[in-house]
Chain A
């Protein structure tokens, strides 16, 4: 059995993992029926569905660890902006297709490396979720990587849009490596991966893909945005929650 300290840290940690995926999933789901081509419409919503499935697994585990009677839905629909711990990257607007793809790439490379470590977790549930999810993320990364090459090597306009996207979104990559006492406790207990271990590999991989995509390398050691893990979000967050939470909040007992 875990100590209370580890249990509390674990709840917090699982919510961070869940919120990242939940909000990104919701953002991608906005493209349902709006993809640039039918195949992309289907791809982006399939990725959204994978992320939703992963988020659900984490929320259910938090619910299991909680003393109160809570369900995954309670975490998703009845928390306010300041109680969501997702990184800012995932809540940002889809903007154009280049932004959507770059945002996914930034997330996918991180997720592959994170799950690559998490499959060694001493926590059986976290290990099982990581082993399951990493297979899904593999296809997410293949998808975003392919589009990087197509857009980067496409037309002057597609290359310019891709460059604008990476120049804007780069400042949101740093937060993926945010750690505090929650991580320290869980890394110490062998439950959570130490993200600093793969930071270099992360940026090296991203830069390699940028060069392949006919873009310039970016500097990992610049000023980065932060705040999401403390519940301080961008102006996009309130809007996305309003859309996502409207129905269960206006009709709390609504069932499918």
Chain B
């Protein structure tokens, strides 16, 4: 089998973020690229959050997935720049996120002290689409999500934060 960058990208579609099983690392924007240099496969990834503990598992899964398909000696490069943003998530990925019960991120705001302090995110309920929802906590089961509550269907739910 001839290993091509396209084939590797296709294989890596099977690698999901352990904390967001509905999305692959490509959907998440964690996977930044694949290159083959002198027979060595180099996979470039970027962390979602500086301290994201899932990065270790993601690197392991990449190596494992490629090994199962006969590709060994994979090098994983971690880059910080450009900084990861939820704006990289496709509409299709956002839809799947919503179907899995997590309210998807909206477009990120322009950065300013005032925007941060007087923020108001519009986060409709992923279950009943009601807009009668309220923020319960800025942090949820993982750093990348916050906790909301829907006053219409009375369900708590997570929101994938705009980042």
Listed in ascending order, the chain A residues whose CB lies under 8 Å from chain B are 39-40, 42-43, 46-47, 49-54, 56-57, 109, 112-113, 116, 124-125, 127-129, 131-136, 138-139, 141-143, 145-146, 201, 205, 209
Q: Is the CB of B117 within 8 A of A128?
A: no
The answer to whether A56 and B81 touch (CB under 8 A), given A49-B143, A112-B113, is no
The answer to whether A139 and B51 touch (CB under 8 A), given A128-B83, A134-B111, is no
Chain A residues, Cβ within 8 Å of B161: 139
Listed in ascending order, the chain B residues whose CB lies under 8 Å from chain A are 47, 49-53, 80-85, 111, 113, 116-117, 119, 136-143, 146-147, 161, 163
Q: Is the CB of A136 within 8 A of B49?
A: yes
What are the 8 closest A-B residue pairs judged by CB atoms, nearest first?
A53-B51, A53-B50, A128-B81, A39-B137, A43-B139, A46-B139, A49-B51, A128-B80
Given contact pairs A39-B147, A46-B143, A131-B81, a sample of 9 additional A-B residue pairs in the complex whose CB atoms are under 8 Å apart:
A49-B51, A49-B143, A52-B51, A54-B51, A132-B47, A132-B84, A141-B116, A142-B116, A205-B113
Bound-state CA distance A60–B50 (Å) is 13
Main secondary structure of the interface of B (DSSP, over half): loop
Q: Is the CB of A50 within 8 A of B81?
A: no
Chain A residues, Cβ within 8 Å of B117: 141-142, 145, 209
Q: Is the CB of A53 within 8 A of B163?
A: no
CB-contact partner of B82 in A39, A112, A131, under 8 A: A131
